[in-house]
């Protein structure tokens, strides 16, 4: 935690927003299939789709890019070096290879460019109905095909969300740029209260601000560059520290250095326990002062008694504060 103020703010949080990929899921997606447009699964067609995707993703830091590159290397493909790489936050990425503009991204990107055709929509619907994330690959104004990627939910995510509810959190929200079908499948498995899918980074900021207005404050948990604006907008921004992007770590108020979501309920309990101890200490210290102020005019105190009481109160406050080091529910 980057300061006591964030520990104090966390105690009053009643709503949590979570990024999906790399936060509620493992962030280690695996390619489950390559689907050239037209339905043919000829090796040459698959190789072309995969090679174009790998050329663009070679310079991307997105978890899906890593999955595509690993799959391409596993197939023994040489990775051509593309230039003019450009990240398109919330949509995908583009690059230029041999004078031809290549695009890799989600449905929103290709829809905005006007490249989506009925066969593309049919392919997307089929993959998304299976709970898979579809990465579209395009070149020269046409979609070459799609790469299906699946990312498993973190084993501890469901337990962590349940424990947050037990700790007093009233509402949980999952934010993702992924498609609605995949997002809802993950949310249903983990027990998330609300889902917002197909979001751009600015959409995540709006969702976090809206949730904060409804509940008087919100904690946002994320790990990627796309999450940094939402982390900054939250009452308390929490970054997945070990796997998180530098931008997310820099922006966040709290970092989970072990990438362990089970630490979230522990942090909530710690913040409330510390808050209670601080209030006890303040009350006790003021009470001692009030008692001595009241007794002094009556001649019932002395300088040495006042010094001893003040030192004793300080020691008791310190020892009481040390209780925060104890682990407990």
Q: Which two tokens stand for residue 297?
A: 């005019």
Q: What is the dihedral of CA 128, 132, 135, 136, to 10 degrees?
A: -30
HEC-encoded secondary structure of 9-72: HHHCCCEEEEEHHHHHECCCCEEEEEEECCCCCCHHHHHHHHHHHHHHHCCCCCHHHHHHHHHH
Beta carbons of 46 and 36 less than 8 angstroms apart = yes
Catalytic positions are: 19
Which residues have a Cβ under 8 Å from the Cβ of 296 and sit 6 or more positions away? 306
Which residues have a Cβ under 8 Å from the Cβ of 81 and sit 6 or more positions away? 55, 58
Rounded to whole angstroms, the Cα distance separating 109 from 73 reads 26
Q: Which two tokens stand for residue 272?
A: 């409330």
């Amino acid at each position: 935690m980057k300061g006591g103020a964030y520990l104090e703010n966390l105690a009053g949080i009643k709503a949590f927003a979570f990024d999906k990929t790399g936060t509620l899921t493992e962030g280690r997606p695996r390619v489950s299939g390559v689907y050239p447009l037209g339905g043919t699964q000829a090796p040459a067609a698959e190789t072309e789709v995969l090679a174009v995707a790998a050329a663009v993703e070679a310079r991307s830091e997105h978890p899906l890019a890593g999955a595509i590159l690993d799959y391409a290397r596993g197939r023994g493909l040489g990775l051509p070096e593309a230039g003019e790489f450009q990240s398109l936050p919330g949509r995908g990425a583009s690059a230029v290879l041999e004078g031809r503009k290549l695009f890799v991204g989600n449905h929103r990107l290709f829809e905005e460019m006007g490249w989506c055709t009925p066969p593309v929509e049919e392919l997307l619907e089929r993959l998304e109905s299976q709970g898979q994330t579809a990465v579209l690959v395009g070149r020269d104004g046409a979609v070459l095909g799609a790469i299906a990627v699946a990312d498993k939910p973190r084993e501890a995510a469901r337990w962590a969300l349940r424990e947050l509810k037990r700790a007093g959190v009233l509402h949980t929200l999952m934010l993702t740029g992924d498609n609605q079908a995949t997002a809802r499948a993950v949310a249903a498995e983990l027990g998330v209260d609300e889902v917002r899918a197909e979001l751009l980074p600015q959409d995540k900021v709006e969702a976090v601000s809206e949730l904060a207005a409804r509940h008087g404050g919100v904690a946002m948990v994320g790990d990627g560059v796309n999450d940094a604006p939402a982390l900054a907008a939250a009452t308390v921004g929490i970054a997945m520290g070990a796997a998180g992007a530098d931008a997310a770590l820099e922006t966040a108020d709290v970092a989970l250095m072990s990438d362990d979501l089970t630490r979230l309920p522990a942090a909530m309990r710690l913040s409330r326990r510390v808050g209670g101890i601080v209030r006890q200490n303040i009350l006790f210290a003021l009470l001692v002062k009030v008692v001595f102020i009241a007794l002094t005019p009556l001649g019932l105190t002395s300088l040495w008694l006042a010094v001893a009481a003040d030192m004793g109160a300080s020691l008791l406050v310190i020892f009481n504060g040390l209780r925060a080091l104890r682990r407990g529910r």
